């Protein structure tokens, strides 16, 4: 590896770290990081603002001012070339007379892909691509997933006993995993655009789905997959509807007066296609959530929703948190029943990472590419 490459990696690592500052709060835009460096000194730092504007490059250039002339800009994602609410970032970099732009990965957005780079090169700017690309592809995978499939990336969290159960036969499930692991879950919530659950879990657990165990004012939206719009108007979710964005995916024929109750209080009701057995078609629901701009959704169950997401190949990432408890066969299953499937056609995920946390074993799995 050349010395330049090593230097580029060093600065790109910083840009990636900056990109995570507003992770979970920039949707519909990706969370991008930008660093402006001149004579081995950082003269500008930027990251996508909440709700997506201003972009990382705009903010970093603002910090650098006229000093940007002759500098190198490190961006985790190809700068935009299309005109949205503001002038494209590629133009801003050109106008600032930046000498060189180092891009971690190309944008898959058809309005940008490659054209941002062409714009820069046509203006005589030296462009380097592919620095720490695997890392930025991971960082922007939710955004890419939405651009390519129209659907947000689903990260499914499952927590179970050592032998794969989520509760005993009496539905007791408290303290299966540790307090520390629950904090970890809240961190994942915070870094997601939205937290999603099924109507069964909304009823059984009555969760608020907010981030509590970490100090932050960043709260994800909440999504319930609730075919018949049966979530109680006395639920914590309904009661906290003014504080957190709330979306409910249901069938077309739900009661209009219930819809009105939710909507007049600020929730968004998303009417979806139905499956042959009269449930919300998950692919359709996710496409509609995608068109609302969600890039990353963190799904916390329950078992029915998890099973349907897995079986319909809609889980891109799975986080399994496992404690040392042994419940035995009579416990509730982590994943529900699949339609009959030949053994060799069962879904299979790839292991990405495994670590210990708060006495539990955490493993991260992803859909084979």
Interface with a second copy by CB under 8 A: which residues?
Answer: 158, 160, 162-165, 168, 170, 172, 174, 307, 310-311, 318, 320, 322-330, 333-338, 341, 343, 346-351, 353-356, 359-363, 365
CA of 156: how far to CAs of 138, 280, 299, 314, in Å?
Answer: 16, 18, 5, 10
Catalytic site residue from 9, 40, 57, 172? 57
CB of 356 to a second copy, least distance (A): 5
- Whichever of 106 and 322 has its CB closer to a second copy, that residue is 322
DSSP 87-150: --HHHHHHHTT-SEEEEEE----TTTTTHHHHHHHHTT-EEEE-TTHHHHHHHTHHHHHHHHHS
> What is the C-alpha to C-alpha distance for residues 294 and 304, in angstroms, rounded to an integer?
22
CB of 205 to a second copy, least distance (A): 16
CB of 297 to a second copy, least distance (A): 19
- Whichever of 210 and 300 has its CB closer to a second copy, that residue is 300
Helix or strand (DSSP H, E) at 4: helix 3-19
Q: Is 57 among the catalytic positions? A: yes
> What is the C-alpha to C-alpha distance for residues 147 and 296, in angstroms, rounded to an integer?
12
CB of 143 to a second copy, least distance (A): 25
- Whichever of 148 and 338 has its CB closer to a second copy, that residue is 338
Find out whether 184 and 362 touch, Cβ atoms under 8 Å: yes
CB of 264 to a second copy, least distance (A): 40
- Whichever of 271 and 322 has its CB closer to a second copy, that residue is 322
- Whichever of 199 and 327 has its CB closer to a second copy, that residue is 327
Other Cβ atoms less than 10 A from the Cβ of 155: the count is 23
Return the structure tokens found at 42.
């950082």
* Cα–Cα nearest to 313, from 341, 289, 274: 341
> What is the C-alpha to C-alpha distance for residues 33 and 216, in angstroms, rounded to an integer?
20
Catalytic positions: 57
């Amino acid at each position: 590896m050349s010395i330049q490459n090593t230097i580029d990696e060093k600065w790109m690592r910083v840009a990636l770290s900056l990109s995570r500052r507003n992770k979970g709060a920039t949707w519909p835009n990706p969370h991008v990081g930008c660093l402006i460096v001149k004579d081995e000194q950082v003269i500008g730092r930027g990251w996508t603002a909440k709700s997506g504007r201003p972009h990382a490059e705009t903010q970093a250039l603002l910090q650098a001012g006229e000093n940007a002339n002759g500098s190198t800009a490190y961006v985790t994602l190809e700068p935009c070339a299309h005109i949205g609410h503001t002038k494209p970032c590629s133009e801003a970099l050109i106008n600032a007379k930046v000498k060189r732009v180092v891009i971690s990965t190309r944008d898959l957005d058809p309005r940008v892909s490659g054209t941002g780079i062409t714009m820069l090169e046509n203006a005589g700017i030296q462009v380097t691509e592919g620095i720490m690309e695997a890392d930025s592809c991971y960082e922007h995978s939710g955004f890419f997933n939405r651009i390519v499939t129209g659907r947000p990336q689903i990260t499914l969290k499952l927590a179970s006993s050592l032998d794969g159960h989520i509760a005993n036969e009496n539905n007791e499930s408290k303290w299966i995993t540790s307090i520390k692991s629950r904090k970890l879950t809240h961190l994942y919530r915070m870094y997601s655009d939205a937290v999603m659950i099924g109507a069964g879990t909304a009823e059984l657990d009555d969760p608020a789905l907010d981030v509590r165990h970490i100090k932050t004012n960043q709260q994800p939206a909440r999504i319930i997959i609730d075919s018949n719009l049966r979530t109680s108007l006395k639920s914590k979710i309904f009661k906290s509807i003014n504080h957190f964005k709330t979306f409910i995916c249901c069938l077309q024929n739900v009661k209009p007066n219930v819809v009105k109750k939710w909507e007049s209080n600020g929730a968004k009701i998303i009417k979806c296609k139905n499956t042959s057995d009269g449930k919300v078609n998950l692919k359709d629901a996710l496409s509609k959530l995608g068109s609302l701009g969600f890039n990353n959704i963190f799904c916390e169950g329950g078992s029915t929703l998890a099973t349907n997401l897995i079986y319909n190949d809609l889980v891109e990432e799975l986080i399994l948190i496992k404690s040392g408890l042994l419940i035995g066969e009579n416990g509730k299953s982590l994943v529900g029943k699949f339609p009959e499937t030949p053994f060799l056609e069962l879904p299979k995920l790839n292991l990405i990472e495994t670590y210990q946390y708060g006495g539990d074993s955490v493993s991260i799995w992803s859909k084979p590419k």
